[in-house]
A and B are shown apart, each in its own frame.
Chain A
Amino acid sequence: MRVAERTKPDHGNAVATAAQPVLQTTARGSSRRRRGVNREGLEAGRRSTRTLLWILLAAAMVLYGFPFLYLLFTSFKTPIDTIAVPPTILPREWTLENYANALGRNGVLASFINSIQTAIISTVLSLVLAVPAAYGITRYQTLSGRIFIMAALVTRMVPPVAIGIPLASMMAAVGLSDTPIALSIAHTTISLPLSIWLMSSFFEAVPKDLEEAATVDGCSRLGALWRVVIPVVSGGIAVTAIFAFLASWNEFLFALLMTAIRSQTTPVVIANFQTQFGLDWGSMTALAAVYSIPVILLTLLLQRKIVAGMTLGAVKG
């Protein structure tokens, strides 16, 4: 592990060039390192400058982290304190009342199940469609492949509000209105282009010899893809799955346009708190916290993969 970290100092960054780690390893380990001379080229020299920069970072982190912490603190206030004037940062009295109110509401738990169902169906659908497509695009470099990936990227520009209503009426025509399947199909229109893009980047990193060897050994092309290539890019598939899942989990507009009572997801329920129950800020903050914390924890656990996925497409370009 330690050796791996040395040669690849920033594993979050899957696209670091080959030249840079070499530079870093030579500088690291030398006595100059303690004084911080040019370890990463851009790294600052003087200690006073570094202290100042750390203070700057601390200030930025506090400002950046505070809004969510305030949401958490508020969710533990009593419902009355939630909208007290003037507001306090910390609860005067810590209580779970807001959580009990929010989760006890009709339809809230069902919305969680809908959110999970929709996100899982959409993730699976995205992967099943994107993996072969991305492979076809990157491995064979045909004209149709190039046209297709362009078209897939252009769909990223389509505003959901423009296709939400026609999609909803299509679903109604086939009897799927207000179902998690209909919504997950809508969510896949968002995540599929992204998944194709990500998977193309991962397939590009696989050496072509690998499946050529497999086909020589008697595998069909489909067999080589399934038995040889897919295991190699399983990490990339995981990254793509995370993105597809998050895209669906956090999506609001399609959910608003395409669901009614049966298949409503939690973001819609959170937004509805505003009108349906007056302004119940306490329950809203509690529900928002419950909905966000699992994905934030997931991020912290899988951060390396997520960073790799986020930067891959953009930095390659």
Chain B
Amino acid sequence: MRISDRRFALFLMTPAALFLAVFVAFPLFRLVADSFFKISPIAGGPRDFVGLDNYFRAFASEAFTGAGWRTLAYTLVVVTLEFALGLGMALLFTTLGRSSQIWRTVFMYPLMIAPIVAGLLWKFLMIDNFGLIGTLLHQAGILSNPNQIGWLSDPNIVLYSVAIPDIWLTTSFMCLVLFAGLQNIPGDLIEAARLDGARAPAMLFRIILPLLRPVIAVALVVRGIDAARAFDTILIQTNGGPQSASETMSLLIYRTMIRFGDPGLASAMGTLYLLAMLAVAFVAVSTIWRPGKDN
């Protein structure tokens, strides 16, 4: 007996679908359910239904709205800088051609480094007193004192300092993806533009970037989602401090759950965070990705 192709396809997908249902969908369901309860952090403690109370508390707390804005600012800074640097490097590698191939490989190395290690090593470069960056800038005569910039201790700039490892880690990804996209631009198109007398800026903005648009969109969405979830690099550098100035949403939820022992509130925050991400994901997937179809 031969089952239909449709059944056979379903049969192949079932194990993975079951896995995702049990280990992603079910925990998510638990998260949403927990958000309506006031839960004692002690195992087996009381669990009282409080309706939407946790959501009201989340929106009323400055920590939550602050973390929301910081997550947004962090994501925008990371993605913008990564894109600018990644595009610059991709154009550089393309222009230099094959002879730069080995360097393209070397440029990839941060992608393999654990975010926790990247955060650690940048903390070591930026930390007060024995941080190397302050010392080098001081020796170069730019700073009057090695601790003039409190990279990780000044609440006004710390959110941008903690973004540096993230940018350093994944500019390579942007570069790789954009480089691959650049290889797909037909050479005669560039040549035609050159014969028409197009100069470099016009070439970039009128021809290259519009042709790369789909690749750029995918790269920005993929990285934007990752940056909005950043946790490891920030935790190890500042743990969200000083004065919560680098506390993004992931950190706030983690601390609410673990440190402040309020799983109900943390679940409400997590649910809102997830809804925001899914809204972005939905728009992105439906307009750009269209996976599983031929292009």
Contacts and interface: CB of A to CB of B under 8 A. Distances in A.
A189 B23 CA distance: 7
A298 B285 CA distance: 32
A16 B95 CA distance: 16
B240 interface: no
Interface in B79-121: 89, 91-98, 100-101, 103-117, 120-121
A299 interface: yes
B264 to A, nearest CB: 12
Contact of B231 (A252, A281, A296, A311): A252
B8 interface: yes
Contact of B177 (A43, A61, A167, A310): A310
Interface in B185-209: 185-191, 194, 208
B15 A307 contact: no
Interface in A52-86: 53-54, 56-57, 60-61, 64-65, 67-68, 70-71, 74, 83-86
A148 B6 CA distance: 13
Instruction: Identify the 6 closest CB pairs spanning chains A and B, nearest first.
Output: A41-B187, A136-B12, A140-B9, A166-B27, A133-B16, A311-B180
A314 B212 CA distance: 11
B116 A267 contact: yes
Given A186-B23, A315-B181, A141 B236 contact: no
Interface stretch (B50-58, B148-156, B249-257): B249-257
Given A9-B98, A188-B23, A197-B291, A303 B105 contact: yes
A13 interface: yes
Contacts of B191: 38, 41
Nearest to A83: B130
Contacts of B30: 166, 169-170
Most chain-B CB neighbours within 10 Å: which of A141, A146, A193, A292? A292
Given A148-B17, A157-B277, A250-B114, A24 B187 contact: yes
Given A162-B28, A167-B27, A299 B13 contact: no
A221 B129 CA distance: 66
Contact of A271 (B6, B116, B125, B266): B116
Interface residues of B, number: 116
Interface of B: 5-6, 8-13, 15-17, 19-20, 23-24, 26-28, 30-31, 34, 89, 91-98, 100-101, 103-117, 120-122, 124-125, 129-132, 135, 138, 146, 168, 171, 173, 176-177, 179-191, 194, 208, 214-215, 217-219, 222, 225, 229, 231-232, 235-236, 249-250, 253-254, 257, 263, 266, 270-271, 273-274, 277-278, 280-282, 285, 288-295
Most chain-B CB neighbours within 10 Å: which of A85, A130, A163, A298? A163
Given A16-B183, A317-B218, A137 B13 contact: yes
A67 B125 CA distance: 8
Given A185-B23, A274-B236, A299-B111, 16 more contacts: A10-B183, A15-B183, A38-B194, A57-B92, A65-B109, A133-B16, A136-B11, A137-B13, A148-B13, A150-B291, A156-B281, A161-B231, A163-B24, A192-B19, A298-B112, A300-B105
B94 to A, nearest CB: 5
Contacts of B97: 36, 39-40, 43
Given A10-B183, A153-B289, A64 B8 contact: no
16 contacts: A42-B208, A83-B130, A86-B135, A86-B146, A128-B15, A133-B17, A140-B6, A149-B292, A159-B274, A192-B20, A288-B121, A310-B111, A310-B176, A311-B180, A314-B215, A317-B290
A135 interface: yes
Q: State the main secondary structure of chain A at its contact with B.
A: helix
A317 B109 contact: no
